[in-house]
Structure formats: structure tokens, C-alpha cells
Amino acid sequence: MTLGDGEALIELDDVSLGYRDRTLFTGVSLTIRRGEAWGIVGPNGAGKSTLVKTMLGVLPPQAGGVRLVTPRPRFGYVPQRHAVDPIYPLRAIDVAAMAERGMRPLGARRSPNLTQRARQELERQGLAHLAEAPFAALSGGQQQRVLLARALAVDPDVLVLDEPASGIDVLGGADLRRFLQRLRAERDLTVLIISHELGDLADLVDHLCLVNHETHAFEAGPAAAMLAEEKLSRLYGRPIALHRAAGRLHVDVKDAP
Amino acid sequence: MTGLSSFFAAYEIWRDALVVAVLAAALLGYLGVWVVLKRVTWVPLALTQASSLGIVGALYIWALIGEELHHDPASVLPTLLDPAGLSVVFALVAAAFFARQSGRGSEAVVLTYLIGSALVLIIGGFVRQDLHDLESVLFGSAVLVETIQIVYVGAAGLAVVLVHALLHRRFLFVSYDPDAAGAAGLPIYATELWLYASIALMISTATRAIGALPAFGLMILPALAGLHVAKSLRGAFALAVGIGALAAAAGYYLAFVAELPAGAAMVGLAGGVYGVARLATAFGGRIHGRRGALTSR
């Protein structure tokens, strides 16, 4: 499936993907172009993260080809907040600068400006005053924003967010949504978001992937076409009704027939 | 003569042993922080057993064909079958396996430990050597240390310092968030391999030099204590190195004056410091938002 006319950053060509001897999807073809925003949607354990890891080259495909544009695009990855272990005694600035530091060439000289971009990104997130605070002592929303600052500090071509709204309150979720909308308007940034929040996704993305490996469901296309009651009901195996109120999409999950 | 003056009077007896113990403890303490952070505390034990299997295997083969090898100056086998070298090779092979399993390898680690232990005992039974001598070769002795061990531990330590000076930032990124590191294009397995290999090299060398119990204890306990009280990662490393070195030196002194087993005295002191660190964090609240983090997963 090829959509849009920006430069193709990631191409999946007839890919089978999964872990070891467990195949989740076969025959997946998809092109992600510069400037597009994609949402990856599906039930828990549907294979969303596996799909994204395969797209990023973290997980090799079992068959078929994954092509990344040359030179390799820079990926900024925001994991689920609880995926990082609180055992590490790190300050917020240590976490925010981690990707920038980790990706520097081996043997590169120490630079006093090494954390400058990370500090700028923390400032953009309104967290400059917490830069020296222990990361583990921050609230869930603040931790999420530090991880977002880390991803943006590498000046990514593609920003990947895994369940960005999980564990943060309504205000935090709204702030995050507004920030991402502003970010997309400012930068020619490609965005991949794994999320259960269909209402949020509808405001943020222009394309959607609907995935559920248990039913071998894989559909991708423009968000307007994918956000259809019939498709979503089939994806989740329950009747789903969509309606708009105050300009936002609301999802109503009905009892199984 | 007081305990301290008699200790210093016997300088030539303990010099090499103390140098080796302090050097090994400092390096083990540093690496232990990585082991605890990655929540792979079983890995050093399994690496010790893999390393011991290499020693016993080499001794067994020497017992079978050693005499013939000695009479064949052209053969390279004597070099390949050196027990110390083979122990490091076995530990590195196990490390490569564990690095591949990273994050989900507890079963492989426990199996390596159990099967390694059983094979060491079985093959050890066929080696024509006094049991006490064999244990000494396998697990070292914190009291009687050959001068050459300073060279072995020093060389292993230098290799560890070089690798970590070069790759420290990558080790941190890959350990803390492997998915983000992989997405950034870092080679996850290769990075894990260097980290595990450095742990394997140090634990196998230290086990032969100072013994299995102190090598394992001085890797884990100072690191746990350091992580409990440190405000920063750099502080945790510094504390673990300091606590390890201090426990080794003070433990050796205590063993000398009170006629205690040296390895047990070192580990006992490191355990005491860990206990104080736990109490300090329990009553002082100095874990900076990480309350329970060391035990919660």
C-alpha cells in the first residue's frame, strides 16, 4: 500500500513478522513517507509494538524486506513510561541526554555542549527547573515529557511514541496532544503513534494501521477511511459506535451481541 | 605486639594477596553495578561455573594426554589447553549466550549454573589431583595468592577499564532502554556482548585469584549498597568501587588478626556495609524517589 507523495522513509515489502518461530503477520506491505503521521491501533497483544519494532529495524523480519531510506533516518523513540526501570539513579537531564550521548561516535571528545540540546528540549517541555531532579521522583506525566525530550534531542526524522497517554492524567494527555500538534506544524516530522486512544489519534494522525494478529487483521490507509465503525468492530470483535461531539471523536463500545 | 603491628610485620606474607583482593574487589564492585541495574545477579554465578568447567576440562585432558604433549614441542595444544585460558574462553562463550538472551534469560542462566556445577563435580572426580588442590585451582584462595595473579587480575582489569571507557554511554543506553537504543541504530547484541564479556573476564579471573565466594559477594553487595544510597549513577559506581576495595582490605586484616577465613571476612564486611545502607535508606529516606526500586521487579 503506497499513500501520499513525500519521500518514502520506511518501506515494508511483503513482510512476515513475529518473534522467533511465532509469526504474527504475513504479507505486510506498507510505505511510510516523510511528514506523515501514522497511528497503530489494535487490542492488547495484537502485535502493534512488534510491527513498529520491525519497521524501525530493531526486529528483523521473518520474510520479505524492510527498506529504510539512505542515509538511515534518525528515530526518536518514546517508550511506555513503565518500560524504563526506576532502579537507575538518573537525573532528568541524564535521561533526556541519554540518546544524544549514546549515539555519539566512539572515541569522540567530550563536549561541554553535549547536553545542550537535551536541556533545550526539557525547557520546551516546561521541565527546565527539574533537569537535576531524580527521574524516578517525577510524576508520570513529567517522566513522559522527559522521555519525549530525549527523543526530540536527537533531532529525529521519525518520532515514535508507544502508548504516550498511558498512566498520565487528562490534563497531561491534552497537553501532550497539543504539543504533538504544534510539533508537527513546526517541523517536517514523521510520527508513528501506538495508542488505544482512538479519539486522540483522530486529532493527531492522517493514516492508521489496524492490527490484530489473532484475527490476522492488518489494514492500513487514510485515517478517515480506517475510522469506520465496521472496521473497528471487526478489529476488536465487539460492536463499536463512533460519534463526534465538540469537534472530537468519541468511541462507544457496546455489549457483545 | 598489637594486631596492627603484627599485621604490618608480616607484610611480605600478605602483600600480593591484599593487592589482588583490593584490585579485584574494586573492579568487581564497578561491574556489579551493571549486574544489579540489569537485574541479572545470577549471571556472575553461572559465569563462574562455566569458567570452572573450562579449568576442570583442561585439567582432565591434561591428565589424559598431557605427558605426550610435553614431549611434542611442535604442538600448539599445550597453549590452547592452558586451564586459565580455557576458563576465560568458557566464561566468554557463556557470556555470549547470555548477551543473546538479555532480559529473558534467567532460565538459561540457572541451567548453565546447575549443569556447570554438576559437570565440574563429575569431571573433577576423574582428575588425578588432591581434592584440596583442585578446589584451590578452581576457586582460588584469598590467603595464598601467587604473584602472577596480580598480573592476571591487572590485565583483566585494564581490559575492562578500556572497554568501559569507550562504551560506557552505549552500555547505559542499551541497558536502560534497549528498544530506544535499537531504534537509534545501536547494535544491541554487540553492545550487550561487550558488557557481558567484560563481566565474564573479570569474574573468571577474580574467582581463580581470590575465590568464588568473595568474587561473587564483592560483585553484588557493594553494588547493592552503592545503589541504595547514591544520588547519581556516577556516585553509585564510586561507592561500589570504594566499598568493595575497603571490604577487601579490612576483611583481609580482620582475617589476619582474628584468624578468620579471609574470603568470608571480606564478604561479611561487604554484607555489613550493605545492611547499614539498607538501614540508612529505610530511616533516612535517601533513595530519592526510588523507594523499593531495588526490590520491586
pLDDT tens sequence across B220-271: 999 999 999 998 999 999 999 999 999 999 998 898 888 888 889 999 999 9
- The answer to whether A77 contacts chain B (CB < 8 Å) is yes
Q: How far apart are CA B35 and CA B39, in angstroms?
A: 6
C-alpha cell at B115: 549443569
pTM for the complete prediction?
Answer: 0.88
Residue B71 has a pLDDT of 61
- The answer to whether A250 contacts chain B (CB < 8 Å) is no
Residue A22 has a pLDDT of 86
Segment A221-249 shows an average pLDDT of 86
Indicate whether A225 pLDDT > 70: yes
Which of B:153-192 have CB within 8 Å of A? 166-167, 169-170, 172-174, 176-177, 179-186, 188
Q: Nearest CB to B176: which of A57, A98, A138?
A: A98
Q: What was the ipTM of the complex prediction?
A: 0.89
User: A150 contacts in B (CB within 8 Å)?
Assistant: 180
- The answer to whether B41 contacts chain A (CB < 8 Å) is no
Residue A3 has a pLDDT of 44
Q: Nearest CB to A84: which of B176, B184, B296?
A: B176
Indicate the pLDDT class of residue B35, thresholds 50, 70 and 90: very high
pLDDT digits (tens, 9 = 90+) for B144-199: 677 888 999 999 999 999 999 999 999 999 999 999 999 999 999 999 999 999 99
Indicate whether B130 pLDDT > 60: no
Residue A134 has a pLDDT of 94
Indicate whether B296 pLDDT > 60: no
Segment B15-34 shows an average pLDDT of 94
Q: How far apart are CA A119 and CA B185, in angstroms?
A: 23
Question: Which residue shows C-alpha cell 602472577?
Answer: B148
Per residue, the 3-state secondary structure of chain B, as one string, reads CCHHHHHHHCHHHHHHHHHHHHHHHHHHHHHHHHHHHCCCCCHHHHHHHHHHHHHHHHHHHHHHHHHHHHCCCCCCHHHHCCHHHHHHHHHHHHHHHHHHCCCCCHHHHHHHHHHHHHHHHHHHHHCCCCHHHHHHHHHCCCCCCCCHHHHHHHHHHHHHHHHHHHHHHHHHHHHHCHHHHHHCCCCHHHHHHHHHHHHHHHHHHHHHHHCHHHHHHHHHHHHHHHHHHCCCHHHHHHHHHHHHHHHHHHHHHHHHHHCCCHHHHHHHHHHHHHHHHHHHHHHHCCCCCCCCCCCCC
Average pLDDT, chain B: 85
Indicate whether A104 pLDDT > 90: no
